[in-house]
A and B are shown apart, each in its own frame.
Chain A
């Protein structure tokens, strides 16, 4: 089986990899590039734990072949903090205790950031609909929503 040579930009860094055509972007992120922040929950696009952005567009990395990443800009959870400085969303998730086991958290953070990048002042309803594709089986959603809205308020004040 021939491997494909793929050139992308991941979290601002030009990144190249070789991959077999059946591998998903999630497979390559985790197993090849060791970016294991994106989680594999369902592998069918239902849970959102593998959320990344491609050219700024929120997608499930399990629903995209790695070969499709050619020429595109990918942002993952690993690109969210600046060194040791957490993104406001990350800080607010901690402050509001918006996580328990943490498995859904990277996906929720990436999805929430994609929302705030588009809409700096979302309503609670807009936020809940936007995040409907990110499933959490332990914390529930109220704390997550509070954390996102609080982070949005802080970012607007900056």
Chain B
């Protein structure tokens, strides 16, 4: 027996989730949850639709950074000019999820909590050092996006907790990010490998900060500090790119499946890291 409720405040949602007998599932955009409901993979007793909570589906600027509501659909993220300027990689990653139709519903919180190793928006958010506000029975906590997914389909959220919003920090000058996903076609597929890169350059074009994150090559998106170390203190020359390529390949712990073998995914991760870093570098140099 399934029931449905749509609370109008975060506190009410938390109370309902904490008191729900049996399994309650949070409904954001629903593009993963409805498929899982239909297949019987999840059998909740209660669906808690959070989209009636004011502000949960909107974007606002704050202190030079951005606050993105948990349920903001990909299409709305893609239409936010200021966000696209500041965080082009985060926006292109979010907009790669599914079709135009899926973009009309799919949210960052859903992509994160569905906890697919191949989730497109997650590497970009981690590379951006994004945080999220988690509300629960013991109040609110702000944690790195990187701390949420713990394995395929698993998160660090406790019963009664939900994600309320994402925070993207203010950008220093000459900073930019990029996300590339490798799939065998151009649209509507799941990442064989995804790479997010966020860079900050000095006036001479030398990298002063780098975040490199790989998707679909481990149980969760993985931050690769060794790949960042290959770039920091250098321009994006062949030495830097070769170091990045090697560090990215070394960090891979992929599975063999129909989308690619371990060997193939590992090779592609290195190539894609080079390409993504090149795009982020060019974007940063234009600012």
* Cβ–Cβ contact A46 & B1, under 8 A: no
| Chain A residues positioned under 8 Å from B2 (CB to CB) | 1, 20-22
- Within 8 Å CB of A65, what residues of B? 4, 27, 30, 34, 47, 49
Count of A interface residues, CB-CB < 8 Å: 34
Complex alpha-carbon distance, A43 and B38, angstroms: 8
Chain A residues within 8 Å of B49, by CB? 65, 67-68
A115 and B186 alpha carbons, distance in the complex (Å): 19
In the complex, what's the smallest C-beta–C-beta distance from B23 to chain A, in angstroms?
14
Q: Which residues of A contact B (CB under 8 A)?
A: 1-2, 4, 20-22, 24, 43-46, 48, 51, 54, 57-60, 62-65, 67-68, 70, 111, 114-115, 129-134
Asked whether B105 is an interface residue with its Cβ less than 8 Å from the other chain, the reply is yes
B contact set with A: CB distance below 8 Å: 1-4, 6, 27, 30-31, 34-35, 37-38, 47, 49, 51, 73, 75, 98-102, 104-105, 186-188
Q: Which of B51, B101, B187 contacts A58 (CB 8 A)?
A: B101
Chain B residue contacts of A131, Cβ below 8 A? 100
A15 to B188, CA, bound (A): 33
Q: Is A4 in contact with B35, judged by CB distance below 8 angstroms?
A: no
Complex: chain B residue closest to A130, CB-CB: B100
Chain B, residue nearest A64 (CB): B30
Distance from A31 Cβ to chain B, minimum over Cβ atoms (Å): 15
Chain A residues within 8 Å of B3, by CB: 1-2, 21
Whole-angstrom distance between the alpha carbons of A63 and B6 in the complex? 17
Cross-chain contact B101 with A63 (CB below 8 angstroms): yes
B98 to A133, Cβ gap below 8 A?
A: yes
Distance A17 CA – B2 CA, assembled complex (angstroms): 18
B8–chain A nearest beta-carbon distance, Å: 12
CA of A43 to CA of B104, assembled, Å: 16
A44 touching B35 in the complex, CB below 8 Å, given contacts A4-B4, A65-B47: yes
8 contacts between A and B (CB under 8 A): A1-B3, A22-B37, A45-B99, A45-B102, A59-B105, A62-B34, A65-B49, A133-B100
